[in-house]
């Protein structure tokens, strides 16, 4: 559907696979995001204590401690020695994201993602274009700033303004004026710049992106030879720059696996592709498929 | 030197990002400074390390809040005066019940609440102060003692001091006195105070406590330590009395409005000059 701007990406996929299949990963992600939030809320709301705490640190079934390594690193930089519980929890989380991809945090857990996805959807629907542009590297600079501020102030300064934790914690412990942040981010992404917050600014996403630099679980354009250039994956992808090498650079011998750690493993590209080009795969399946592709070239 | 278009674009882009990030960093820095101030009525949970370190150690997880059986604690929400996401309580609303097993500290996954604190009696969340003696009805000679009776460690943290009621001349005042060496700052007294505005309030220690200079020595304590007077006792002890008053050494004490048989004039300069003459 490259010719019609007003049509939402995925229209072809819905026609080809049906609505459910064309939204499979989106639905699963929303179930994950809301489900995990729901588990945290079960305690305070219904007295069923499966998980206590919030994303900064939690205790599951009274035995499993989980701690956000990003906030713990800031605490250490602020001059505090973490105790064993926090270290254990942070190691578990780190290992998890090393395997499944750091920014899986973004698309499968983070509450802000639902808001920025909604803004991107509406922006596309209303065909809003232009606005300011932020460098996609800003988030890494900001990540540096948050670490530096912790070091210099001796406090976890970023947690005073972090929208991710503010909203997740707020939903469990009381929002206060955090709805204002939600609205601000929505408007920023809708009116100022496409995917501005998650795609350019958020240091949390930047941290997890670095964490998942060598992660095992990746999305792969395994059947890229079937691509019909509809561009739907580029439109729907929150980090569209990550797709091109894997999808389009067959001649240069680039493998089909999306190796950029900015890919959030959201699976939307899998959803919206009517030709079933994409699938979840492992990082090491890259060379194998490349050799197949190369063989292809040799043969032709 | 001339820049190619691409290089130029890269440099402007980088400069633009750096400038934007710099502004954001400055704003965050200022805000960080500002949000260090903790309102006086916001009390940290038991075992909380000193405020500056606390803001570096607490990761805002709320586990202490959840495990407090009395719903004493809350996490500061966006827009509250307390640093965002940190736990605190307001004594007048829900005080700390001083749980013997201190579940809030046990729940804390960091060192923000000191896991070395084993006895809740050793907690120092703040210090209760009878801050308004004009409003506290005990000072008017009325019986109350609610703050004393509610205190989980009454007798140690808070006492009643019996004083003479000068107004009636024949009754006693039962004055609540808080001892800083035992008060945990739990706030039960503040919450229980019967007045519309509590006359006894838990204050942060930094506000509530005075401190003598390190070199101050109290004569009677030193005397006790040394087992006797450290100086030669004077022949005659002299008092600087307010003019027009007399001092009765036999127990009456200061007697106002009755002659002036002290050897001093009410002008201190005379005393100083007199000393000089005597030399
Ligand atoms: S980039 Fe930040 S706000 Fe966006 S989904 Fe990731 S953590 Fe959440
Ligand atoms: S490449 Fe696919 S999985 Fe990765 S962020 Fe883009 S749409 Fe999501
Ligand atoms: S000691 Fe008990 S009542 Fe006091 S804050 Fe801790 S858990 Fe709550
Ligand atoms: S449990 Fe500890 S780290 Fe968590 S909010 Fe309470 S004081 Fe902070
Ligand atoms: S705050 Fe009040 S009730 Fe609590 S220990 Fe101190 S004097 Fe007692």
What integer is the mean pLDDT of B236-249?
A: 72
Compute the distance between CA of residue B239 and CA of residue B263 in angstroms, rounded to an integer: 9
Whether A178 and A78 share a structural domain: yes
pLDDT-derived band at B129, boundaries 50, 70, 90: very high
What integer is the mean pLDDT of B196-217?
A: 91
Q: Which residue of A has its CA nearest to B55?
A: A155
Whether A69 and A113 share a structural domain: yes
Chain B: closest CA distance from residue A242 (Å) = 20
Is B262 or B198 the better-scoring residue by pLDDT?
Answer: B198
Inter-chain Cβ pairs, chain A and chain B, closer than 8 A = 160
What integer is the mean pLDDT of A137-144?
A: 90
Instruction: Determine, yes or no, domain membership for B223.
Output: no
A71 touches chain B (CB under 8 A): yes
- The answer to whether residue B240 scores a pLDDT higher than 90 is no
- The answer to whether residue B274 scores a pLDDT higher than 70 is no
Domain of A8? Answer: 2-19+218-282
**A174 CA distance to ligand 4 middle (Å):** 16
DSSP sequence for A212-230: TTT-SEEEE-TTGGG----
Kindly identify the ligand whose nearest atom is closest to the C-alpha of A261.
Answer: 2
Among B183, B190, B201, the mutation site with the greatest number of ligand 5 atoms within 8 A of its Cβ is: B183
Q: What mean pLDDT is reported for chain B? A: 86
The token pair at B226 is: 């040394």
Contact A161 B17 (CB under 8 A): no
pLDDT in tens, B63-77: 999 999 999 999 998
Whether A68 and A119 share a structural domain: yes
Give me the residue from A59, A72, A152 closest to B59, CB to CB: A72
Is A233 or B58 the better-scoring residue by pLDDT?
Answer: B58
A48 touches chain B (CB under 8 A): no
- The answer to whether residue A20 scores a pLDDT higher than 70 is yes
Q: Using the 3D structure, point to which of B208, B230, B263 is the last residue of a domain.
A: B208
Whether B93 and B164 share a structural domain: no
Kindly identify the ligand whose nearest atom is closest to the C-alpha of B104.
Answer: 3
Compute the distance between CA of residue B180 and CA of residue B129 in angstroms, rounded to an integer: 9
- Asked whether the ipTM of the predicted complex exceeds the cut of 0.95, the reply is no
Whether A132 and A228 share a structural domain: no
Asked if residue A100 lies in contact with residue A29, where contact means CB atoms within 8 angstroms, the answer is no
Asked if residue B278 lies in contact with residue B238, where contact means CB atoms within 8 angstroms, the answer is no
Compute the distance between CA of residue A217 and CA of residue A212 in angstroms, rounded to an integer: 9
**A185 CA distance to ligand 2 middle (Å):** 21
What integer is the mean pLDDT of B86-101?
A: 94
Sequence-separated (6 or more) residues with CB below 8 Å from residue B183: B127, B128, B157, B158
Is A290 or B33 the better-scoring residue by pLDDT?
Answer: B33
- The answer to whether residue A1 scores a pLDDT higher than 70 is no
Whether B161 and B185 share a structural domain: yes
pLDDT-derived band at B93, boundaries 50, 70, 90: very high
- What pLDDT, on a 0 to 100 scale, did the predictor assign at position B258? 63
Domain of B144? Answer: 126-208
Q: Which positions in chain A touch B62 (Cβ < 8 Å)?
A: 53-54, 169, 172-173
- The answer to whether residue B237 scores a pLDDT higher than 70 is no
pLDDT in tens, B137-151: 999 989 999 999 999
Whether B151 and B193 share a structural domain: yes
pLDDT-derived band at A292, boundaries 50, 70, 90: very low
Range A130-135, long-range pairs (CB < 8 A, 24+ positions):
A131/A191, A131/A192, A131/A193, A131/A194, A132/A192, A132/A193, A132/A196, A133/A193, A134/A193, A134/A196, A134/A200, A134/A201, A134/B17, A134/B20, A135/A200, A135/B13, A135/B14, A135/B16, A135/B17
Domains identified in chain A, total number? 2
Query: Which of A:77-116 have CB within 8 Å of B?
Result: 78-83, 85-86, 89
Whether A59 and A205 share a structural domain: yes
Task: State the closest ligand 5 atom to the C-alpha of B91, by its place in the atom list counted from 1.
Answer: 1
Q: Using the 3D structure, point to which of A172, A188, A210 is the last residue of a domain.
A: A210
- The answer to whether residue B133 scores a pLDDT higher than 70 is yes
Q: Which residue of B has its CA nearest to A82?
A: B110
pLDDT-derived band at A3, boundaries 50, 70, 90: very low
Q: Using the 3D structure, point to which of A210, A226, A257 is the last residue of a domain.
A: A210
Domains identified in chain B, total number? 3
What integer is the mean pLDDT of A23-37?
A: 91
Q: Which positions in chain A touch B79 (Cβ < 8 Å)?
A: 176-177
Compute the distance between CA of residue A184 and CA of residue A167 in angstroms, rounded to an integer: 12
Q: Quote the pTM value.
A: 0.81
Contact A153 B29 (CB under 8 A): yes
Chain A: closest CA distance from residue B152 (Å) = 28
Helices A138-153 & A69-77 angle (0-180, nearest 10): 40
Q: Which CATH number do you get for residue B156?
A: 3.30.70
Beta bridge partners of B130: B200
What is the distance between the terminal CA atoms of chain A, rounded to a whole angstrom?
A: 29
Whether B154 and B111 share a structural domain: no
Asked if residue A290 lies in contact with residue A224, where contact means CB atoms within 8 angstroms, the answer is no
- The answer to whether residue A194 scores a pLDDT higher than 60 is yes
Q: Using the 3D structure, point to which of B208, B228, B254 is the last residue of a domain.
A: B208
pLDDT-derived band at B239, boundaries 50, 70, 90: low
- Of A107, A99, A86, A121, the residue nearest A36 (C-alpha): A107
Whether A71 and A156 share a structural domain: yes
Q: Using the 3D structure, point to which of B76, B101, B125 is the last residue of a domain.
A: B125
Report the sign of the C-alpha dihedral through residues B249, B250, B253, B256, in that order: negative
- What pLDDT, on a 0 to 100 scale, did the predictor assign at position B233? 65
What integer is the mean pLDDT of B216-235?
A: 81
What integer is the mean pLDDT of A66-76?
A: 91
């Amino acid at each position: 559907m490259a010719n019609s701007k007003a049509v939402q990406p995925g229209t072809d996929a819905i026609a080809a696979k049906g609505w459910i299949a064309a939204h499979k990963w989106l639905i699963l992600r929303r179930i994950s995001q809301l489900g995990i939030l729901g588990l945290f809320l079960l305690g305070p709301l219904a007295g069923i204590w499966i998980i206590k705490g919030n994303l900064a640190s939690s205790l599951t079934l009274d035995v499993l401690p989980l701690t956000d390594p990003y906030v713990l690193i800031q605490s250490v930089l602020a001059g505090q020695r973490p105790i064993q519980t926090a270290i254990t929890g942070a190691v578990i989380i780190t290992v998890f994201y090393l395997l499944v991809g750091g920014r899986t945090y973004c698309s499968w857990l983070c509450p802000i993602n639902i808001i920025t996805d909604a803004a991107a959807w509406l922006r596309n629907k209303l065909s809003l274009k232009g606005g300011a542009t932020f460098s996609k590297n800003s988030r890494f600079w900001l990540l540096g700033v948050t670490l530096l501020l912790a070091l210099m102030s001796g406090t976890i300064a970023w947690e005073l303004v972090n929208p991710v934790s503010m909203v997740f914690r707020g939903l469990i412990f009381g929002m206060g004026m955090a709805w204002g942040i939600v609205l601000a981010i929505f408007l920023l992404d809708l009116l100022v710049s496409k995917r501005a917050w998650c795609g350019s600014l958020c240091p949390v996403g930047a941290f997890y992106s670095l964490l998942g630099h060598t992660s095992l679980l990746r999305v792969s354009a395994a059947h890229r030879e079937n691509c019909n250039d509809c561009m739907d994956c580029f439109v729907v992808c929150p980090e569209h720059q990550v797709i091109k090498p894997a999808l389009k650079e067959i001649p240069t011998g680039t493998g089909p696996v999306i190796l950029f750690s900015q890919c959030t493993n959201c699976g939307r590209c899998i959803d919206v592709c009517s030709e079933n080009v994409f699938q979840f795969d492992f990082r090491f399946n890259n060379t194998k498929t490349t050799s197949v592709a190369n063989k292809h070239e040799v043969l032709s | 030197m001339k820049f190619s278009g691409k290089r130029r674009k890269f440099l402007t882009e980088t400069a633009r990002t750096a400038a934007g990030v710099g502004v954001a960093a400055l704003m965050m820095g200022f805000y960080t400074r500002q949000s260090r101030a903790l309102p006086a009525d916001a009390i940290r949970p038991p075992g909380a390390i000193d405020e500056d370190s606390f803001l570096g150690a607490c990761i805002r997880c709320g586990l202490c809040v959840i495990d407090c059986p009395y719903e004493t604690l809350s996490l500061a929400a966006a827009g509250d005066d307390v640093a965002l996401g940190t736990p605190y309580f307001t004594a007048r609303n829900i005080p700390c019940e001083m749980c013997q097993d201190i579940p809030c500290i046990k729940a804390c996954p960091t060192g923000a609440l000191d896991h070395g604190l084993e006895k809740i009696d050793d907690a120092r969340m703040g210090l209760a102060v009878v801050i308004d003696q004009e409003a506290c009805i005990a000072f008017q000679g009325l019986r109350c003692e609610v703050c004393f009776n509610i205190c989980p460690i009454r007798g140690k943290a808070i006492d009643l001091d019996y004083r003479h009621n000068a107004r009636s001349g024949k009754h006693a005042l039962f004055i609540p006195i808080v001892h800083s060496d035992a008060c945990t700052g739990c706030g039960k007294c503040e919450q229980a105070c019967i007045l519309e505005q509590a006359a006894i309030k838990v204050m942060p220690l930094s506000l509530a406590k005075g401190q003598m200079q390190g070199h101050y020595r109290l004569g009677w304590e030193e005397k006790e330590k040394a087992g006797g007077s450290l100086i030669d006792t004077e022949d005659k002890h002299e008092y600087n009395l307010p003019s027009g008053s007399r001092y009765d050494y036999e127990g009456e004490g200061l007697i106002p409005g009755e002659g002036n048989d002290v050897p001093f004039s009410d002008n201190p300069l005379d005393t100083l000059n007199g000393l000089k003459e005597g030399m």
